[in-house]
Amino acid sequence: MISVERIRNNFEALKSSLISKGYGDDLSEILSIDKDYRESLSIVNDLRAERNKVTDQIAELKKTKQDAVDKIVSMKAVGGKIKDLEAEISEKKEKLDELILNLPNIPHESVPHGSNESKNKVIYEWGEENTQRFNLKTHLSLGSNLKLFDFERSAKLSGSGFPLYTGKGALLERSLINFMLEFQTQENGYLEIIPPLLVNSNSVLTTGNLPKFSEDMYHSEIDDLWLIPTAEVPLTNIHCNEILSESDLPKKYTAFSACFRREAGSYGKDTKGFQRLHQFNKVELVQLVKPEQSYKALESLTSHAEMILKALNLKYRKIELCTGDLSFSAAKCYDLEIWAPAEGKWLEVSSCSNFEDFQARRGNIRYRKEVDKKVDFVHTLNGSGLATPRLLIALLETYQNADGTVAIPEPLQDYTKLKIID
């Protein structure tokens, strides 16, 4: 959430930054409502002060047996004005909060300008091209032949977009998850969490999924609970409405969870196999840090996701997103795209973002400085470390053999107890 003070004091610069992110609504309404709100609040405060003063006078008049009727009548009128103004103030504050909550985060000054993904910047590529001289099979063909998953039967259970892993496919999925969790906890110092998969509205509001993206999530109206689109939601909210000590930072959390997304706006996009799902598995990385450390932390967190790809020896590239391709809540973001040789395309497998204080303001996540004891908002970051569906696509297509079997990458062999899937 952007503070109204920032909007008030940096209007033109902020307006320009939001335009670069694709936000075209008029910000002047926010300033207008804010002005009215503050003026009304000032009047109410003056009336309250007057009422308190006159109330003391009335008490003194009664004490000395003097007539206080006129003052009592006038204060009833003042009380009525205060009540009416308080109702107006409440309405204005509610409208102001609604408008601000729908404002996206401001891109960091280092983010490349551009209206769409064509202006994203490839930072580098890592890994070697698959040079095997045989006709590569797609993950769908491999999965079907080796009985690793069954989308036809899963459709009977839940409809399209819900995978059913079977046999060695289930084993490989579980092994990937365990490998990534152990890597992040043992090598990079993250604390493992098993979070709830259903969260309240305040939690998804904190991360920026509400109010703007309600149609992309699954909602239980009876309980007013939401199936999480990513473990970022519960992990970020662990310290919602808390004041942490400076010595508590950074907080580094990782979690495996199923993720649920209606993908209401994805009609016509890739939907075959694992490329786009309503339910998928992911290991998430979340950090809460001091503001001055957040961009260093972004580079570090991104490298933690990259380590998984390097350990599995999978070709990938790191991309810096332009302003127009940033998510609603992100100030800066790197995407990691993995190469699927049979598909012949790059597939996003991780997004690593710095939200600065955008989420922390929405969730009231703060820390107390040791030097002056002042309280400030933390900066929050998150990244996929990694999402398994597209990781599985690249792994199967990269490690396939001419005879239709698939080799198991060495780091996973201790988990699968297999060297090959046949």
Q: Is the pLDDT of residue 221 over 90?
A: yes
Digit-coded pLDDT (tens) for 368-400: 999 999 999 999 999 999 999 999 999 999 999
What does the angle CA 31 – CA 32 – CA 35 come to, to the nearest 5 degrees? 85
**Out of 73-82, 114-123, 130-139, which region has the weakest mean confidence (pLDDT)?**
130-139
pLDDT at 216: 94
Query: DSSP letter string over 246-287?
Result: GGGPPEEEEEEEEEE---TT-TTS--STTSS-SEEEEEEEEE
Q: How confident is the model at residue 303 (pLDDT cuts 50, 70, 90)?
A: very high
pLDDT at 131: 67
Q: What residue has token string 């297509």?
A: 397
Q: Could you tell me the domains of the chain?
A: 4-101 (1.10.287.40), 117-421 (3.30.930.10)
Digit-coded pLDDT (tens) for 321-374: 999 999 999 999 999 999 999 999 999 999 999 999 999 999 999 999 999 999
Digit-coded pLDDT (tens) for 233-251: 999 999 999 999 999 999 9
pLDDT at 139: 94
pLDDT at 63: 84
pLDDT mean across residues, the chain: 94
Q: How confident is the model at residue 264 (pLDDT cuts 50, 70, 90)?
A: low
pLDDT at 237: 98
Q: How confident is the model at residue 259 (pLDDT cuts 50, 70, 90)?
A: very high
- Asked, as a colleague might, if the bond just before 197 is cis with ω within 30 of 0, I would say no
Which residues 6+ apart lie within 8 Å of 307 measured at CB?
Answer: 183, 187, 188
What is the average per-residue pLDDT within 260-276?
70
| Residue 348, helix vs strand vs coil | strand
Ordered alpha helix ranges (H), 64-211: 69-101, 139-145, 151-158, 168-187, 201-206
